Structure 1
């Protein structure tokens, strides 16, 4: 296990290097002049040039890349072109609200998604299965921004039960987490159903039932462990997507997270912030995939890492 973990961690380096090169080239291909945006629409050309020199954008592109890569090796992502604050500070201030929102959305979506999936598999082709899959298809098909606005209209405007913006209390997390986790719950339900249906057809399940074991014991002791392997894989992928892809939900609810930070950075062509956020999202996916692979060994002890 230790050797496998070390090998995977060393494999992070070339992957992050490739991502760093691609994101540097991508952000410098974005249309618009960051110096003009930073100087303001009323600034003359001389002021724009002074701002460009101050931001280091007057240097050749190769020099800018070498500077960026050297700072990245020292975990220094520079200063935001928009706020003049260190990029690490900008991200640190916004990361925790996004992480807590993602965890809240993931917890309820996994619980409800797996419950619906198991019920649909147990009562396959009956009304619980049809109802559960109808809800799953609806959750996948309904756009997140439309669901968010609908929830705000009902629970905030008409009923006045929940706040619409901010992240000051647990009540602020309810509507955004429901909006963010709806599609995940739907995906989890479908994957859990498919996985359980496949497992319950195995010979060891028929043997367990032939021994006279209680159906709950068969499902949750014998089927659950084997059915969780593809479900855990999907959980890890969905958690990564939620953590790095909550831009729409954060925009709808004016959430103070990294999604809104990325939108603002792209709008203002804030190169250092964009580069750091994309690298962060890539690192998150790599680490989450590593954690998922390690969880396989705990779920199914027959899996060994070489």
Structure 2
């Protein structure tokens, strides 16, 4: 297990290098001149050229990439072109609201999604199954931005129960977390149901029932553990998607997180900020997948890494 973990950590470097190259290329292909945006619409060409030189955009692209990647390896992610503050400081101020929102969304979506999936599998082809899967299909089909605006209209504008913007109190997390986690809960419900239906038909489940064990013990002890491996895989992937997919929800609710920060960075063509944020999202996916793989050994001790 330790050797597997160390090999995966070493494998992060080439993956991050490939992602860094692709991100650097795509960012510099964005339309618009960041030097012109930084100098202002009324600046003359001499001023724009001076700003371009100060930002280092007058150098060849390979030179810019080598400088960016070299600073990144030293923990220096550059300075924001729009705010002239360190990129690490900009992201540090916005990271916790996004992480808390993602964690809140993940907790309730996993609880409800797995609950609906287990109930649907136990009462397969009966009305609880049909109702649960209908809810799941609705959650997947409804776009996040439309759901967010609908929730704001009902619970904020019409009823006045919940706030719409900000992240100051626990009430601010309710509507964004529901919007962000609705699709995840639906996916978890369908995936859990499929995994449980497969496990319930196994011989060891019939043997456990033949021994006279309580149905609750059979479901929660025997079925749950064996059905958890594919569910945990999906859970890890969905958590990564939540971190990256919070961009739309944060834009709808004007949430002070890194998703909103990325939207603003794209609008201002803030190259260092865009590159660092995309690399951060990529690293989060890689680390989450690593954690999920390590959890396999604890869920099912028969799994061994060679």
TM-score normalized with structure 2 length: 0.99
Deviation at 1:45, TM superposition (A): 1.0
TM-fit CA distance, 1:66: 1.3
Does 2:258 match 1:258? yes
Deviation track 1:145-172 (CA, whole Å, cap 9, x = no partner) reads 0000000001101111100000001110
Q: Distance in 1 between matches of 2:100 and 2:288?
A: 16
Counterpart residue number, 1:218: 218
What value does the CA root-mean-square deviation take over the aligned residues?
Answer: 0.6
Q: Helix, strand or coil for the counterpart of 2:163? A: coil
Report the counterpart of residue 302 of structure 2 in structure 1: 302
Question: Which residue of 1 is the match for residue 62 of structure 2?
Answer: 62
For 1:124 and 1:65, how far apart are their aligned partners in 2? Answer: 55
CA offset at residue 83 of structure 1? Answer: 0.4
Out of 167-176 and 64-73, give the one that drifted further: 64-73
Deviates further, 27-36 or 40-49? 40-49
Residues 172-211 of structure 1: pairs in structure 2 closer than 5 A:
172-211=172-211
In the TM superposition, residue 61 of structure 1 has moved relative to its aligned partner by: 1.2
User: What is aligned with 1:88?
Assistant: 88
| 4+ residue runs over 6 A deviation | none
In the alignment, which residue of structure 1 is the partner of 2:128? 128
Task: Provide the rounded CA distance (Å) in 1 between the counterparts of 2:17 and 2:260.
Answer: 26
Aligned residues: 306
Following the alignment from structure 1 to structure 2, what is the Cα–Cα distance between the partners of residues 65 and 103? 34
Q: Aligned equivalents of 1:42 and 1:122: distance in 2?
A: 68
Mapped to 1, the partners of 2:302 and 2:2 lie a distance apart of 17
| 1:139 has 2:139 as partner | yes
Q: What are the within-5 Å matches in structure 2 for residues 149-188 of structure 1? A: 149-188=149-188
Q: 1 CA distance for matches of 2:8 and 2:63? A: 32
Aligned to 1:79, what secondary structure does the other structure show? coil
Structure 2 Cα separation of the partners of residues 39 and 125 of structure 1: 64
- Superposition deviation, residue 197 in structure 1: 0.2
- Taking the TM superposition and a 5 Å limit, the aligned residue runs for 1:226-237 are 226-237=226-237
Looking at structure 2, the residues matched to 302 and 61 of structure 1 have their Cα atoms a distance apart, in angstroms, of 50
Q: TM-score scaled to structure 1, two decimals?
A: 0.99
Cα shift at 1:245: 1.6
Structure 2 alignment gaps of length 5 or more: none
Offset at residue 72 of structure 1 (A) = 1.2
